[in-house]
Structure 1
Amino acid sequence: MSCLNGTERPRERLFAIGFLVVLLVGLVLPSATARAQVPIQDTAPLPAADSLFRAGVEVYEAGQFDSAFFRFRRLIEEFPSNRSTTAAHMMAVRAAYRAGLHDEAVTLASGFLDRYPSSGYTQDVRDAMNLAIEAQRVAERRPVNLGVILSLDGDQVSASQEMFNGIRMAVDDYNQVHPAEPIRIVFRNTEGGGRRVTEAVRELADMEATAIVGTLYSEDALTAAAAAESENIVFVAPLATDDRVSRGRSYVFQANPSIEVRGRLMARFAVYGLRIDRLGVIAEETARGLGTTLTDSFLKEASELGAEINLVALLPTDRAWFDLGSYVDADTLAHVDGLYVPVVTDDPVSTAGAVLSSLDRMGADLRVLGNSTWHELPMKGSASNYMTTYNNEFYPDDTRPEVTAFRDRYFEFAGRDAGRIAFTGYDVAAYLLSVMNFRDGLSLAERIREEPMYRGLGHRIDFDGGQINQGLFYLRYRDGQLELIR
């Protein structure tokens, strides 16, 4: 839910002045009452806590209220008995209100007033809470709750913030168009994973959230999926690629195409889209098994579609890419028109370059087919020699005005460039909100399965009757340029 309006009410101006005075006094000279509430040994200043507090104040003053809220809340959770704790509570409540997270502001304020009834910040917190309550009453009807679950673990905070920003912008855009049917974000921190993820899903189900979006990784998505299915609530995992997340479930959806889906759809595109019927595969037997999964799904689909498989070569190590001639016979390549090379590596430029150089040395005359690792490589000329074609799940086309507009808006909103995770948060939330807005008698899960392809800013979303997104982009290198062909 967005803030009330762009102007500051007299009451809020008084609140702001009072806040600044109390904050400065509270940080420099805590009251005797506050000292009596917390053991002296627990109130010693901690550099990490003070640094986190200052960072929160900086982004708050810059108008990045979502980011400020995350920082102050993290300080409260990690340093519950530090000298900055009550000030952080105060700032968290105010940041939550200014960010439009009114439920969070009221919850935090209520907890603060119960725990610190004699704090010097009590009146300021109460004023902020009243503003948040007033904002809640503005809506003419009860808003629809959209649950968001993300972890504030130290190594996930940045990505979680970026995902949340994208979701928040999509919700704000929706609410501007549908003011009489507002969507309210209800956030739950899943820090620690495991049981906390399950608890978060159940809490959101108890709050009658219509759907839940979240988790960054497949491990947490698996836990959330099990809980969501048991609660009969739609859960959309924006990034998970492990197809076990949604396997055998009716309420769980994966917006990121799984590894198996990518290999299978590349085979289908090769046979039906490119009309190639003599295929081969070269892949590395990686420890993570991604190359093997891509290979197996590609071969299975190609065979079922009637293609002729004339080469299957599994390389023992990543160094083998630099010496393909020792593992692949040039005469065999002569019977291959399309060579699928799903590269899984941390150094795509060097590996892809080695593949192309090896094919040059063997005098290969074929089309290279690839996975997302082949995206936007610098050796466009060499890749064009083999009309290298691949599929990718993410392609923000900057020739589209709405894409460049989003980049500008995101920078203004977050103070940094929009990365893939920001686009993902926006696209998944915007898609889900568009589906939630239907009134055709179908359940949300049924509608998601039947909805035609949705074209987002950087993603295509099409569940095609199932639980895993089938929407991919197909690109090729030609004449030294990268171009979208479907």
Structure 2
Amino acid sequence: EDESRRASLKIGAVLPLEYGSGVGDKLLLGIQLALDEYNRNAQFRVGLKLENYSGSLSKLDEDIRTLADDQNVKVVVGPVFSGEVSVAAPIANSEHLPLITPTATQVGLAPAGSFVFQANPDFRIRGEIMAEFAVNVLHLKRIAVLSPSESYGKIIAGYFISKLKALGIKPISVAYFESGTTDLSQQIAQIKNDAARFKEPYIDFGRLSKSQISALKSFGLSPTLVDSLVRVKGSLDAYDVFGRDAELHADSLGIPITEKTALTQFDALRSLEAIFIPLTSSRDIGIIGAQLAYYNVRTQLLGTDDWYDMNQLTSNADYIDGVIFCSDTYLDTFSSQFRSISSTLSEISDKEFDRTVAYGYDVTNMLLQLIRSGNLTREELKEALQNYTYHGIHSIIGFSGGNTNKYMNILQFTKGTIIKLAEVKSN
């Protein structure tokens, strides 16, 4: 029975094809690359059933139903955009047909337990991952946010701020700008003023009683350091002493916390450890960098996927060198796997193996690995996807018991090149 099921098994694809260089065409190229690679040595070939909805939502509805009616189709790759997934999702769920979109990023498209999967991390995961990395890995506390006032940049900023607060960090300032603006003087002035007024918690060792000093030593602070600070009547940032739950720990030990602000705007800017800037267009990189440099704002820049534009980064390297950003993609063009796939692609197409082709390739290759492992029904593939972690050429795809990929790459532009700092999973 397994042999007959394997012999007739198909992967469905529902894409908007332009028969050129559109997103759907590139995804299809990646899908075909993965299938050709698999079928070359497979005992049982996996077929492809393709439906082209050409951007029409009514045609998309019809195409999803056509794929669902074909019992040989066990899983569908597509559609492309978030609004299109919203049309396809109810049908996929009612027909118990696993549907995995390689590209859609809107929050809430793929609730846990459903038959719909997002291989691309959503806006929430992008914002939360950068907050977690900033606090838990870079150990930053004094963070400002400079966000576009529209589109997904503002949405990501909201999730970043919420996660910061959940980690015990209050952003020093939140300022908004319109994408494309050439003057950020008001926003930078706001950040400077907010930073100057921002009250930071300190412990004044010159005012501690003997019992409070003993409590700090018992908590784990170096006795030598404590005695030295008491002797010179020094102070320490409460977060440096207690970590993210500073107020809670201080209260439980009976340690008084003193709040103080920067003396001047210069002091405030010097104490600013990072600015998170979730761009919606890479064309803003030059403007942002030049404006920050002009107003002498020199701090760690943090961002998201729209910073991943090598031409813009290189052109503005003097201003933004060292920027750290998350991306759903990192293609190591020097790896043997990348060179092998690029070589194969060049034999059948004049297109490059870029991130969109990689989306199609990795999602399909992941599904083929699950099929090879014996997941041959729609239910089996759904359950397997929820608990599978796939190490792809562009990124890790892992749903961790849910339906949305929780993995991102953390990249840094430094000295004229982009390096991968880490592959991280949202908590």
Q: Does the TM-score normalized on the shorter chain lie above 0.5? A: yes
Question: For residues 319 and 401 of structure 2, what CA distance do their matches in structure 1 show?
Answer: 35
Q: Please state how far the C-alpha of 1:144 moved relative to its aligned partner.
A: 1.2
Is the 8 Å Cα contact of residues 332 and 338 (structure 2) preserved in structure 1?
yes
Matches within 5 A, 1:2-151: 142-151=7-16
Question: For residues 373 and 392 of structure 2, what CA distance do their matches in structure 1 show?
Answer: 18
Q: Please state how far the C-alpha of 1:238 moved relative to its aligned partner.
A: 1.0
Q: Please state how far the C-alpha of 1:171 moved relative to its aligned partner.
A: 1.0
Q: Please state how far the C-alpha of 1:228 moved relative to its aligned partner.
A: 0.5
Does residue 142 of structure 2 align to residue 274 of structure 1?
no
Does residue 306 of structure 2 align to residue 373 of structure 1?
yes
Corresponding residue of 2:385? 448
Q: Please state how far the C-alpha of 1:416 moved relative to its aligned partner.
A: 2.9
Matches within 5 A, 1:278-289: 278-286=142-150, 289=151
Corresponding residue of 1:483? 419
Corresponding residue of 1:310? 172
Corresponding residue of 1:166? 30
Corresponding residue of 2:355? 420
Which one-letter code corresponds to 2:384 in the other structure? R
Question: For residues 314 and 193 of structure 1, what CA distance do their matches in structure 2 show?
Answer: 35
Corresponding residue of 1:431? 366
Corresponding residue of 1:301? 163
- Corresponding residue to 1:363 among 279, 288, 296: 296
Which one-letter code corresponds to 1:240 in the other structure? A
Instruction: Compare relative contact order (CA 8 Å, sep 6+) and give the higher one, 1 or 2.
Output: 2
What SS does structure 2 have at the residue aligned with 1:282?
strand
Question: For residues 364 and 157 of structure 1, what CA distance do their matches in structure 2 show?
Answer: 41
**1:291-324 residue CA offsets vs partner (Å, 9 max, x unmatched):** 1101100001111011231111122563155435
Corresponding residue of 2:286? 353
Corresponding residue of 1:200? 63
**1:151-188 residue CA offsets vs partner (Å, 9 max, x unmatched):** 34x59874323221210110111122322x32111112
Label 1:236 to 1:221 Cα distance change in 2 as closer, same or farther (>3 A): same
Question: For residues 480 and 206 of structure 1, what CA distance do their matches in structure 2 show?
Answer: 52
**1:228-255 residue CA offsets vs partner (Å, 9 max, x unmatched):** 0111110001111122421366110011
Structure 2 gap segments, 5+ residues each = 194-264, 423-427
After TM superposition, where is structure 1 displaced by more than 6 Å over at least 4 residues in a row?
none
Label 1:157 to 1:400 Cα distance change in 2 as closer, same or farther (>3 A): closer
What SS does structure 2 have at the residue aligned with 1:215?
coil
Is the 8 Å Cα contact of residues 301 and 320 (structure 2) preserved in structure 1?
no
Does residue 258 of structure 2 align to residue 393 of structure 1?
no
Which one-letter code corresponds to 1:149 in the other structure? V
Which one-letter code corresponds to 2:135 in the other structure? V
- Corresponding residue to 2:52 among 189, 194, 207: 189
Does residue 101 of structure 2 align to residue 227 of structure 1?
no
Question: For residues 185 and 463 of structure 1, what CA distance do their matches in structure 2 show?
Answer: 24
How many residues end up aligned between the 2 structures? 340
Is the 8 Å Cα contact of residues 381 and 481 (structure 1) preserved in structure 2?
no
Question: For residues 119 and 168 of structure 2, what CA distance do their matches in structure 1 show?
Answer: 30
Corresponding residue of 2:235? none
Label 1:155 to 1:300 Cα distance change in 2 as closer, same or farther (>3 A): farther
Which one-letter code corresponds to 1:195 in the other structure? S
The more displaced of 294-303 and 465-474 is 465-474
Label 1:262 to 1:383 Cα distance change in 2 as closer, same or farther (>3 A): farther
Does residue 153 of structure 2 align to residue 291 of structure 1?
yes
**1:97-122 residue CA offsets vs partner (Å, 9 max, x unmatched):** xxxxxxxxxxxxxxxxxxxxxxxxxx
Question: For residues 8 and 169 of structure 2, what CA distance do their matches in structure 1 show?
Answer: 53
Label 1:380 to 1:356 Cα distance change in 2 as closer, same or farther (>3 A): closer
Which one-letter code corresponds to 2:14 in the other structure? I
Question: For residues 334 and 293 of structure 2, what CA distance do their matches in structure 1 show?
Answer: 34
Does residue 395 of structure 2 align to residue 459 of structure 1?
yes
CA RMSD of superposed structures (Å): 2.6
Label 1:261 to 1:321 Cα distance change in 2 as closer, same or farther (>3 A): farther
Is the 8 Å Cα contact of residues 57 and 87 (structure 2) preserved in structure 1?
yes
Q: Please state how far the C-alpha of 1:191 moved relative to its aligned partner.
A: 3.2
Which one-letter code corresponds to 1:207 in the other structure? D
Corresponding residue of 2:339? 404
What SS does structure 2 have at the residue aligned with 1:394?
coil
Corresponding residue of 1:473? 409
What SS does structure 2 have at the residue aligned with 1:458?
coil
Label 1:140 to 1:201 Cα distance change in 2 as closer, same or farther (>3 A): closer
Which one-letter code corresponds to 1:416 in the other structure? K
Does residue 122 of structure 2 align to residue 258 of structure 1?
yes
Is the 8 Å Cα contact of residues 310 and 335 (structure 1) preserved in structure 2?
no
What SS does structure 1 have at the residue aligned with 2:314?
coil
Q: Please state how far the C-alpha of 1:440 moved relative to its aligned partner.
A: 7.8
Which one-letter code corresponds to 1:148 in the other structure? A
What SS does structure 1 have at the residue aligned with 2:406?
coil
